[in-house]
Amino acid sequence: MFFMTALLYRKIWDKLNGSVGGSALLIAFFSIISKLLGLLRDRLLASYFGAGSTLDAYYAAFKLPDLIFNTLVLGALAAAFIPLFTKIWLQDKERAIKFSNVVLNYLLLILVLLSAGVFIFAKQLMPLIVPGFAPEVLAQTILLTRIMLGSIVFFSLSNVIGGVLNARKKFFSFSLAPVFYNFGIILGIVFLYPRIGLTGLAWGVVFGSALHFLIQLPEVIKNGWHYSFDWRIFPEVKRCFQLMIPRTIGLAASQINLLVVTMITSTLAAGSLAIFTFANNLESFPTSIIGVSLAVAAFPIFSESLAMRDDKRFVSAFSMHFRRMVFLIIPLSLLFIILRAQIVRIILGSGSFDWDDTYHTAQTLGWFSVSLFAQTLIPLLARAFYALEDTMTPVVISLVSVGINIGASIYLGHSWGVEGLAAAFSISAIFNMAALLFVLRMRLGDLDDKNLIRSTFKITFNSIVAVFISYLMLRVMSSLVDMQTFWGVFWQAGVATIIGLIVYLILAKLTKSQEIKIIFEMLNKLRLQLKAKN
């Protein structure tokens, strides 16, 4: 009996970890777990410190490590590494492994040198990034920054082997890694901070990054990868770094954009950076679960389709994923706008996080939510260009978007405060998404335009009607529950959300939405395939 149960679970597992639909579900599931832990992390930080100068120092300490890592590794490596590794693997598996090791070794060397430079000159660099911080807050930021630099090495290792797993369509440990990262940070908050003080928060980040790497290591080794101290630069390695350069420039511009936002928030009221970060983390919940999970799962299919010169398959996959994302994100965007205060109060409203913090975080979240649909679609659109081995176009568009965001942030930040920074972010995100879609359409021609336009119109109409019903339910529930308590706010938001989503699904069915069919057919197909494996 035990053997049969184990075999059944193994078959289910193989199916989930080996198909696009199953992989998307797997990534989405662990994204939800990771994001829930992230919300717990934020609740703990809000409860311990409130939106004040301590959290400003903590979040500012991420900026220089993030500048180094995100610019050189995170997006640039994925854009260049996965398509090339996939091609090499299909021809020569051992050469593909050597390729991954050469890339890893050079990245580590560059990152260690850069991290050492930042460690030495942190006292000179941080005042440029947070010019408005008081001296004691600046000193805390410098100390935390130096500790957090250690996370870069682990994240670099993690992302290279994660790229290998992505290329091999193995998403389990890759999806699980962010869960362990947040778990490490939570341990830092709960166990290290009470014992060693503020530095415990930074050491929690380093510990979480180590877990992010270690959890992926067994699976990548099991799938044939091994480390070698190889520095020989062969043509594919050169091609990888050539493809990384444009994307690196674009990411550098994006990171500079974040630094400008940090500079502005440091000159605003104490706690502005914490409020901006809390709101950003809340709105990233649906974009990560829907946008990133589906885009990551679709990327190998995009790459394979274009490698085999099957443009029809590429357009079909793109259209399906685009419409599926729109179907899920537009109603959620509108729900986030009308429920922004309830979301903040439920998730962050405890301990030192007072009503003033709640109000400003909710308003900031509302402005972020305006562009949720665009933020969700950008990863898919960008990966369509990466599959075309075109990293330059997304970079150029990103640079223009960054310019728009910086200009709008300077104007709106000083006019509206931290809420203005979120509004500027949304303006630039919508431009970024629209420009990527326009250029891709120009490049490939028909992207199944008829279905895309018809579906988007239906989804938008159904979402507006459903969310209007949710708004009415908010008003009704406010008179039936005690709005001064956690559970009162929870039930108000929960009932309004459930009623709105039910109405949305009914309208989708009545208007014969193709996307609801796609989702249910995918789930039913997965169920039948799993049943057939028994």
Q: What is the per-residue pLDDT across 355-377, written as a single tens digit (0 to 9) for each?
A: 888 899 999 999 999 999 999 89
Closest by alpha carbon to 44, among 361, 358, 351? Answer: 351
Check residue 78 and give its pLDDT: 62
Query: Rounded to 5 degrees, what angle do the CA atoms 331, 301, 155 make?
Result: 80
What contacts 499, CB < 8 A, 6 or more positions away?
469, 470, 473
User: How many domains, in total, are found in the chain?
Assistant: 1
- Mean pLDDT over all residues of the chain? 82
What contacts 425, CB < 8 A, 6 or more positions away?
261, 367, 368, 371, 405, 409
Is 4 inside any structural domain? no
Check residue 77 and give its pLDDT: 65
Lookup: tokens for 22: 């199953």
Buried residues in 93-113 as b, exposed as e (16+ CB within 10 A): eeebbbbbbbbbbebbeebee
Is 261 inside any structural domain? no
Angle in degrees, 0-180, between the axes of helices 151-167 and 75-91, rounded to the nearest 10: 40
State the Cα–Cα distance between residues 345 and 357, nearest whole angstrom.
10
State the Cα–Cα distance between residues 44 and 50, nearest whole angstrom.
9
State the Cα–Cα distance between residues 241 and 287, nearest whole angstrom.
29
Give the amino acid at 500: G
What are the tens digits of pLDDT across the range 14-51?
555 545 555 666 666 777 888 888 888 989 988 888 87
- Cα 451 to Cα 323, 443, 454, distances in angstroms: 8, 19, 5
Is 237 inside any structural domain? yes
Closest by alpha carbon to 116, among 63, 167, 64? Answer: 64
Is 102 inside any structural domain? yes
State the Cα–Cα distance between residues 77 and 243, nearest whole angstrom.
9
Is 62 inside any structural domain? yes
Burial bucket for residue 214 (CB in 10 Å: 0-12, 13-18, 19+): middle
State the pTM of this model.
0.77
- Cα 470 to Cα 135, 331, 337, 370, distances in angstroms: 47, 11, 11, 17
What contacts 280, CB < 8 A, 6 or more positions away?
368, 422
| Residue ranges in the chain whose pLDDT is less than 50 | 1-13, 18, 530, 533-534
For residues 420 and 412, the answer to whether their CB atoms sit within 8 Å is yes
Lookup: tokens for 99: 């390729």
Is 118 inside any structural domain? yes
Check residue 119 and give its pLDDT: 92
The 8-class DSSP code of residue 89 comes to H
Is 525 inside any structural domain? no
State the Cα–Cα distance between residues 53 and 56, nearest whole angstrom.
5
Domain residue limits at 243: 23-49+53-249
For residues 364 and 272, the answer to whether their CB atoms sit within 8 Å is no
Check residue 144 and give its pLDDT: 94
Find how far residue 276's CA is from the centre of its chain.
16
Q: How many CB atoms lie within 10 A of CB 218?
A: 10
For residues 362 and 340, the answer to whether their CB atoms sit within 8 Å is yes
State the Cα–Cα distance between residues 70 and 58, nearest whole angstrom.
18
Check residue 281 and give its pLDDT: 86
Is 203 inside any structural domain? yes
